[in-house]
Structure 1
Amino acid sequence: MRRFTDDERRARLARRHFLSEPADAVDRVVGAVVGLHATDPATPYLSLWSRLPVFTTADLDAELYERRSLVKHLAMRRTLWTVRSGDLPAVQAAASDRVADTERRRLIADAQKAGVCADGEVWLDAARGAVLQYLAANGPTDAKALRVALPELAGVWDPAPGKRWGGETPLAPRILTVLSVQGDIVRGPNDGRWTTSRPRWTSAETWIEPTQAVASEAARALVLRRWLAAFGPATLTDVKWWFGNTLTWARQGLRDIDAVEVDLAGTPGFVLPDDLDEEPEPDPWCALLPGLDVTTMGWFERDWYLGPHRGQVFDTNGNAGPTAWCDGRVVGAWVQDDGGRVEVRLLEDVGTAAHRALQRRAAELTDWLDGVRVSPRFPSPLTKR
């Protein structure tokens, strides 16, 4: 059985995530790693800055809102992702459909329980029809304007009746979430800056080129093969967690793509059958990655790149804050001071050369941000210190 050491896994991570050798285009990065986390609006921009030699926020904006080669979509683990528009049918069938089914059932049950409707299916279908008709007539529209214009989006519910943290909450945002994760509508132009999210909703069929639907099993094989090429070797638990599905689903997916079992320091792992060659050691490298970066969040079992630092760079809910990396390992974090200057906070001695490289990278990021303050949505204990 082929054995992969932690050092070799870190070497693969360095190259396949474009951290030791930068990429040459936005879509190449996004496609290679399946998608970039976008729950925090700044994350995809900073993730691309870390992987492209020359990158501006306008580069990503152009792909999202002008060429529309990328789109933001709710998918794996009910997380918002930036994915390639051409990959959307596969991502939809492999991950988003499962999320949509759960969100739809919960919304219908809550609306009926709140007395908003007697038949939740009919109520939600009417809201869907009203939203799509309005968008067809008026073009991209923000959530507030949709709520004002459409009585079908009215209604409130109380998530915790009688509790101090409960209270009446509008159902409209949840309706729009269901429509988006079903693939009916997408996030169009952003009325905020790159560090904030104020999307205008638009119908999917008018925003991006229509593409043929993909059957669920074919979609699973396609997306899992793409993911394993970038993140393998990975454990069965990694696959289950990353896709937000069941162990049975993960096992069948690995069988469908003929994944090969390998040894990860005594733990079973899996790689693609044509991806067993030894990975050469890359040149020394360092990186400053944003909170929720796709690499930091790439695996469930993370000791091989986190070491003892998990509790310092992840919050208690498993969300990663900004991180500093050296040669495939997390060695600290980065923050901005009151003047916007990027500072590196190390958790271990990385040596003189690596320390200087991180300082240079911090200076480059300071210049690139040009005074813009980035507040991670999920700060880690180290960044809050």
Structure 2
Amino acid sequence: MAIDARFQPQHSGEPAYWPRGGNMISGARLRVSESQRRARLSARHALIPEGIAKDARAVAGSLVAIHATDPPTVYLSVAARTRLAGPVDVATDLHAPSMMRMTGMRRTVFVLQTDLAPTVLEATARPLALRDRATILRLLHAHLGWTEDHLTEIEDSIVELVIAKGTITGRELAEALPVLRTTIRPSSSPSSNAPGQPVSMRILYNLAMTGRICRGRPLGGWTSGQYTWSPPAPMTTIEPRAARADLLSHYLARYGPVTEADVRWWTGWTVTQTRQSLADNHAVAVELSEGQTGYVAPDDLDPVESPELSVALLPALDSTVMGWRDRAWYLPSESTPALFDRTGNAGPTVWVNGQVVGGWGQDRKGRINWRLLSDVGAREQSAIAVEAERLSTWLGESRVSPRFHTPLERELSDSPGRKR
């Protein structure tokens, strides 16, 4: 197995920590405080005024990938971290050749830099796609009697049409291949009463997960969840273990320190894959709060200066709020019930200096209403009000509503005015 030299495992007996002076201190372990972790988050996720990103590509780099399961999230995540004037400017960036929308970590759709796509494909998407295809084939065989050869024939026909057309809608694909309109239940059990789904949805999504086709521009406005389909950009081949190591190197750089549980949750990897990738990256163990062990890249031991003032209104499912499994250091536990739904989806959040302090929602008249769940000073409240006004101006006549509603967002989006 060929592994990039950066990802060769450490030799046993190497120390866990090298101080800035370069002297080797065996057995010593750097301690990273919660305030230092919040400073890193603010700076590295483009949430500080002096670190604002210039465009959507830079935002994707700062987050590794922009969460895109809910279409408005991508635009609002970019809006919070740039000074692009509105959705049209963001769309221009998002649909440039240097950007790509694909399924990746945790079976979630992300927008990322195109040159990272081969890494995400081999590290996360392809293994998911192989399991998903087996499920699809089982359902197709149970309900329609399809064989694997027949499924392969349909898949190949779809890919040929996408390549021939360059850009094609799902409706146009179904007109060319009427079999795609066939519906199946999402269960192979004869007793299932779950509503049927067109086979096109399952097959197209799976082809996108394997990198054979990709999502293009949305149909309709920027909040639409319906997409055209296009041929993917050419991708280099990368071996799965090297891909996992490369993906983890990006995650460590933007989110570190992270715990082993964070890595497993964010990537969807097994314990063995996680520990192997930490070793391949020469990840350095550090001490976190409450005796937890975290990991950082070996060149990331220097402290980061805390911001003077960092304020952001981040959208539902933003990559920052969903970036770690263990969130107590930036999200007070008592705030979680108001800001998350029952299945763990985050709603819109208000941030001050790398910590969640409240939530926000847009009401029917377009106003941005926000409420604090933690105490902050008058200066911070004034900055939040300015940011809320900026977001309102950015949205203009657009109305956004998260796919997954959370208690506080639901309340604020229905409220007649701002509540604190």
Is this a same-fold pair by TM over 0.5? yes
Q: Residues 284, 165 of structure 1: CA spacing in aligned structure 2 closer, same or farther, 3 A cutoff? A: farther
Contact kept in structure 2, 1:116 and 1:156, CA below 8 Å: no
Q: What secondary structure does 2:337 align onto?
A: helix
Question: Is 1:126 equivalent to 2:156 in the alignment?
Answer: no
My pick for the range that moved more, 167-176 or 40-49, is 167-176
1:183 alignment counterpart: 211
CA contact (8 A) 2:364 2:399 kept: no
**Could you say if the C-alpha distance between residues 194 and 378 of structure 1 is closer, same or farther in structure 2, counting changes exceeding 3 Å?**
same
Shift of 1:350: 1.3
1:169 aligns with 2:197: yes
For the residue of structure 1 that corresponds to 2:331, the secondary structure is helix
Q: Does 1:22 pair with 2:49?
A: no
Measure how far apart 1:81 and its partner are: 0.3
Q: Is the 8 A contact 1:26 1:60 kept in 2?
A: yes
Following superposition, the deviation at residue 282 of structure 1 comes to 1.3
> Quick check: 1:98 aligned with 2:127?
yes
CA contact (8 A) 1:48 1:55 kept: no
How much has 1:70 moved relative to structure 2? 0.6
> What secondary structure, in the 3-state scheme, does the structure 1 residue paired with 2:195 have?
coil
Unaligned runs of at least 5 residues, structure 2: 1-28, 412-420
Q: Is the contact made by 1:114 and 1:156 (CA closer than 8 Å) also made in structure 2?
A: no
Shift of 1:373: 0.6
TM-score (norm. length: structure 1): 0.94
Note the 1:49-128 alignment, pairs <5 A: 49-65=79-95, 67-117=96-146, 119=147, 121-128=148-155
Letter in 2 for 1:31: G
136, 144, 149: which one aligns with 2:171: 144
Determine if the alignment matches structure 1 residue 324 to structure 2 residue 324.
no
CA apart distance, 1:163: 6.2
1:22 to partner: Cα distance: 0.9
Work out the CA distance in 2 between the residues paired with 1:64 and 1:13. 23
The C-alpha deviation readout for 1:129-155, integer Å capped at 9, x for no partner, is 111222233331111221222045353
Q: Which residue of structure 2 aligns with residue 280 of structure 1?
A: 305
2 CA distance for matches of 1:228 and 1:19? Answer: 18
How many residues are paired up? 378
The one-letter code sitting in structure 2 at the alignment partner of 1:155 is: T
**How many Å apart are 1:175 and its aligned residue?**
0.5
**C-alpha separation in 2, matches of 1:86 and 1:132:** 22
3-state SS, counterpart of residue 330 of structure 2: helix
Q: Is the 8 A contact 2:46 2:62 kept in 1?
A: no
Q: Is 2:325 the counterpart of 1:297?
A: no
Picking from 294, 312, 319, the partner of 2:338 is 312
**Which of the residues 25, 38, 46 maps onto 2:68?**
38
Tell me the distance in 1 between the aligned counterparts of 2:402 and 2:193: 24
How far the C-alpha of 1:187 sits from its partner, in A, is: 0.9
Residue aligning to 2:293: 268
Higher mean Cα deviation, 6-15 or 215-224?
Answer: 215-224
Q: Tell me the residue number matched to 1:337.
A: 363
Worse overlay, 232-241 or 132-141: 132-141
Alpha-carbon distance between aligned partners in 1 of 2:184 and 2:137, rounded to the nearest angstrom: 11
**Percent identity between the aligned chains?**
38
Shift of 1:374: 0.5
Could you tell me how far apart the structure 1 residues matched to 2:204 and 2:40 are? 39
2:6 alignment partner in structure 1: none
Structure 2 counterpart SS, 1:282: coil
Alpha-carbon shift at residue 114 of structure 1 (Å): 1.2
Name the amino acid aligned to 2:149: V
The CA deviation string for residues 235-270 of structure 1, in whole angstroms up to 9 with x for no partner, is: 000000000111111111000000001111110110
The change in CA–CA distance for 1:51 and 1:90 in structure 2 (over 3 A counts) is: same
Q: Measure how far apart 1:54 and its partner are.
A: 3.2
Query: Does the alignment pair 1:215 with 2:239?
Result: yes
State which of 373, 379, 383 in structure 1 corresponds to 2:399: 373
Take 2:240 and 2:386, find their aligned partners in 1: how far apart are those partners?
A: 46
1:257 to 281, 285, 307: 281
Cα deviation code 1:248-299 (max 9, x no counterpart): 1111100000000111111011000110112221111111000010100000
1:32–1:226: 8 Å Cα contact kept in structure 2? Answer: no
- Note the alpha carbon deviations across 1:186-225, whole angstroms, 9 max, x for none: 1112222111122111221xxx2x2311111111111110
CA contact (8 A) 1:75 1:91 kept: yes
- Please state if 1:384 is matched with 2:410: yes
Q: Deviations over 1:42-64 (max 9, x none)?
A: 11111111111334323332233
Structure 1: segments with no counterpart, 5+ residues:
none
Corresponding position of 2:24: none
Give 2:363's aligned amino acid. Answer: D
Separation in 2 of the partners of 1:236 and 1:68?
Answer: 34
Which one is further off, 269-278 or 108-117? 108-117
Rate the CA distance shift 1:140–1:227 in 2: closer, same or farther, 3 A. same
SS of equivalent residue, structure 1 residue 145: helix
| CA deviation after TM superposition for structure 1 residue 159, in Å | 2.7
TM-score by length of 2: 0.87
Q: C-alpha separation between the residues in 1 aligned to 2:271 and 2:360?
A: 35
Matched, 1:194 2:227: no
Cα shift readout 1:296-325 (whole Å, capped 9, x = no counterpart) = 000000011111211111111111110001
For the 8 Å contact 1:126–1:152, the answer to whether it is kept is no
